[in-house]
């Protein structure tokens, strides 16, 4: 009997425990509210409508408008230098002088020879004329006259040669004064006073370069040629043939715009070994920011997309069916939207179809989203406006880098309050 009583007691206790468990988990309690809906913190941005320039980019080299090595046309000792290194000169300015004395002597000798032969020619002409009168009277043989006439012609040739010698000697004397053949900026001198200068020396006295204006020679792949030729045709048609395509020169790291110019010409053939074509642009370069032989990034603007819908590149995802974005509606729900993308730069991506300007899209946190997911906007960024940035290839963290970085950190902190560790596999509850 005692054992039977104990078993009944245990059974009753088990039934009561089960009833309490069911009541706790399945019967609503006034102090327990509804379970919160799971949301994901995201960072969003607005799709913007703006004009987007289309640039073609190629590596280029700065070439001076003129590049002349100043050499002497005569030989001699350098007597004087009339310039300083780095000086700007004009065409015709005196740069240096070579010892002129040998050339003065040569000029004087040539003039003396000319005077002597000219006097002999005058005497021969007198004799010829006298023989001509005597031949008519049969006082002199015809052969005598012919001989004298031939002597006159010979002396005339000698005098002509003497005159050329005088001119040559005068030129050599003039060449002893070395002048600037073109305008430009002088480089470093290669000789000092007293040095022996040879004619047409390959070393040269100094080099003159003109960089205002200057050229930039760059290359583009052959696939870009149709865009260039079409842009040239449209620009010429719109302006009556006078329009030029704008070209910008950027630093090697693409952080600084150095100068602005225009496309001058396109080469008439494609380099089959590289599959590229050469283009030449001209730059005023008034500030002399472009330096000869400098490597720059040349950006040729071929068109401008008017009122194009743009989003940050991070907002565009690639799926098995193509590109898509997540659009956040008024209820805080992320909807997957198929889009067609176009031109893409480091700052924005053009959406050709599937999205309208003003819609809110998710730019960070898309890896945790599915169609219909509830989201919480942890931070909001602005889509880059190209008109407000110096660089068409500027990154999102351009002028508002601090603000955007802070917003991104806020989003991370919302996901991980500790600020450390890897992202949780489960969505964080608000």
CATH number of domain containing 364: 2.40.420.20
Q: Is the pLDDT of residue 55 over 50?
A: yes
pLDDT tens digits along 102-128: 999 999 999 999 999 999 999 999 988
pLDDT value of position 7: 61
Burial class for 25, CB neighbours closer than 10 Å (0-12, 13-18, 19+): exposed
Q: 242 in a domain, yes or no?
A: yes
Highest mean pLDDT: which range of 59-63, 241-245, 329-333 = 59-63
CATH number of domain containing 91: 2.40.50.100
> Based on the domain organization, do 135 and 246 belong to the same domain?
no
Question: Which of 305, 329, 361 corresponds to the end of one domain?
Answer: 305
> Based on the domain organization, do 90 and 184 belong to the same domain?
yes
Q: 11 in a domain, yes or no?
A: no
Q: Is the pLDDT of residue 420 over 50?
A: no
Q: How confident is the model at residue 159 (pLDDT cuts 50, 70, 90)?
A: very high
> Based on the domain organization, do 86 and 201 belong to the same domain?
yes
Contact yes or no for 393/254 (Cβ under 8 A): yes
Pick from 76, 75, 81, 77: nearest CA to 93: 81
DSSP one-letter string for 13-54:
HHHHHHHHHHHHHHS--TT--PPPPP-EEEEEEE-EEEEEEE
pLDDT value of position 136: 80
> Based on the domain organization, do 196 and 230 belong to the same domain?
no
3 state SS of 224? helix
Q: Select the more confidently predicted residue: 145 or 350.
A: 350
Report the pLDDT averaged over residues 356-373: 88
Q: 333 in a domain, yes or no?
A: yes
State the Cα–Cα distance between residues 315 and 134, nearest whole angstrom.
Answer: 113
Q: How confident is the model at residue 17 (pLDDT cuts 50, 70, 90)?
A: low
Segment among 153-167, 264-278, 340-354 with least mean pLDDT: 340-354
pLDDT value of position 130: 86
Q: Is the pLDDT of residue 428 over 60?
A: no
> Based on the domain organization, do 369 and 269 belong to the same domain?
no
The CA–CA distances, whole Å, from 424 to 40, 93, 415, 416, 427 equal: 11, 77, 8, 8, 7
Q: 9 in a domain, yes or no?
A: no
Q: How confident is the model at residue 370 (pLDDT cuts 50, 70, 90)?
A: confident
> Based on the domain organization, do 122 and 217 belong to the same domain?
no
Domain housing 254: 55-64+212-305
pLDDT value of position 368: 82
Q: Is the pLDDT of residue 27 over 70?
A: no
CATH number of domain containing 278: 2.40.30.170
Question: Which of 271, 305, 339 corresponds to the end of one domain?
Answer: 305
> Based on the domain organization, do 295 and 371 belong to the same domain?
no
Domain total of the chain: 3
Q: Is the pLDDT of residue 153 over 90?
A: yes
3 state SS of 339? coil
Question: Which of 207, 230, 261 corresponds to the end of one domain?
Answer: 207
Report the pLDDT averaged over residues 11-19: 68
Q: 35 in a domain, yes or no?
A: no
> Based on the domain organization, do 293 and 317 belong to the same domain?
no
pLDDT tens digits along 388-410: 444 444 333 333 333 343 334 44
> Based on the domain organization, do 136 and 182 belong to the same domain?
yes
């Amino acid at each position: 009997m005692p054992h039977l009583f104990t078993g009944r007691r245990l059974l009753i206790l088990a039934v009561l425990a089960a009833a309490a468990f069911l009541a706790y988990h399945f019967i609503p309690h006034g102090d327990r509210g509804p379970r919160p809906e799971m949301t994901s913190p995201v960072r969003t941005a607005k799709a913007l409508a703006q004009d987007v320039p289309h640039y073609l980019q190629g590596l280029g080299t700065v070439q001076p408008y003129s590049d002349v090595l100043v050499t002497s046309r005569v030989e001699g000792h350098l007597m004087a230098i009339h310039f300083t290194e780095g000086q700007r000169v004009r065409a015709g300015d005196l740069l240096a002088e070579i010892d002129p004395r040998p050339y003065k002597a040569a000029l004087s000798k040539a003039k003396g020879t000319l005077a002597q032969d000219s006097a002999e020619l005058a005497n021969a002409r007198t004799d010829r004329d006298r023989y001509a009168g005597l031949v008519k009277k049969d006082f002199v043989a015809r052969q005598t006259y012919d001989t004298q006439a031939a002597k006159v012609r010979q002396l005339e040739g000698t005098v002509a040669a003497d005159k050329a010698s005088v001119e040559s000697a005068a030129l050599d004397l003039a060449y002893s004064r070395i002048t600037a053949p073109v305008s430009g900026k002088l480089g470093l001198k290669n000789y000092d006073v007293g040095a022996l200068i040879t004619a047409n020396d390959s070393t040269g006295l100094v080099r003159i370069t003109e960089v205002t204006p200057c050229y930039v020679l760059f290359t583009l792949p052959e696939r870009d040629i149709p865009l260039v030729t079409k842009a040239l045709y449209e620009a010429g048609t719109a302006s009556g043939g006078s329009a030029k395509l704008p070209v910008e020169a950027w630093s090697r790291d693409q952080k600084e715009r150095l100068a602005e110019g225009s496309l001058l010409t396109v080469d008439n053939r494609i380099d089959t070994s590289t599959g590229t074509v050469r283009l030449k642009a001209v730059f005023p370069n008034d500030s002399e920011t472009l330096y000869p032989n400098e490597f720059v990034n040349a950006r040729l603007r071929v068109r401008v997309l008017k009122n194009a819908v743009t989003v940050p590149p991070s907002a565009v995802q690639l799926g098995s069916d193509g590109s898509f974005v997540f659009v956040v509606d008024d209820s805080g729900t992320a909807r997957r939207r198929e889009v067609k993308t176009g031109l893409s730069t480091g700052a924005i991506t053009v959406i050709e179809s599937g999205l309208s300007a003003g819609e809110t899209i998710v730019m960070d946190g898309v890896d945790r989203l599915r169609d219909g997911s509830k989201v919480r906007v942890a931070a909001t960024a602005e889509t880059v406006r190209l008109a407000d940035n110096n660089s068409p290839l500027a990154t999102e963290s351009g002028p508002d880098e601090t603000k955007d970085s802070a917003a991104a950190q806020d989003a991370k902190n919302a996901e991980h309050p500790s600020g450390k560790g890897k992202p949780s596999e489960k969505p964080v509850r608000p």
